[in-house]
Amino acid sequence: MIASGEELDRLFSELCAGSRAGGVASRARADVYVIGDPPTLVVEFALPGLNLDSLEIVLEPEALVIQGERRRSSAGPRRAYEHAEIDWGPFARKLRLGRPVDPESSSAEYGNGILSLRMPLAASPAPERVLVTVHIAG
pLDDT at 21: 41
CATH 2.60.40.790 fits 5-72+82-136, yes or no: yes
Residue 43: how many CB atoms within 10 A of its CB?
21
Domain ranges of the chain: 5-72+82-136
Q: How far is CA 47 from the centre of its chain?
A: 8
Question: Which of the residue ranges 23-32, 50-59, 105-114 would you say has the lowest mean pLDDT?
Answer: 23-32
pLDDT at 25: 54
The sign of the dihedral angle between the CA atoms of 120, 108, 72, 91 is: positive
Identify whether the C-beta of residue 66 lies closer than 8 Å to the C-beta of residue 92: yes
Average pLDDT along the chain: 80
What is the arithmetic mean of pLDDT over 116-129? 85
Rounded to whole angstroms, the Cα distance separating 86 from 24 reads 15
pLDDT higher for 105 or 134? 105
Read off the pLDDT of residues 73-85 as tens digits, 9 standing for 90 and up.
777 788 888 988 8
Q: Which of 12-16, 39-43, 44-48, 77-81 has the highest mean pLDDT?
A: 39-43
Q: How far is CA 65 from the centre of its chain?
A: 7
What is the arithmetic mean of pLDDT over 88-112? 90
For 31, 41, 120, the CA distances from 16, given in Å and listed in that order, are 19, 27, 31
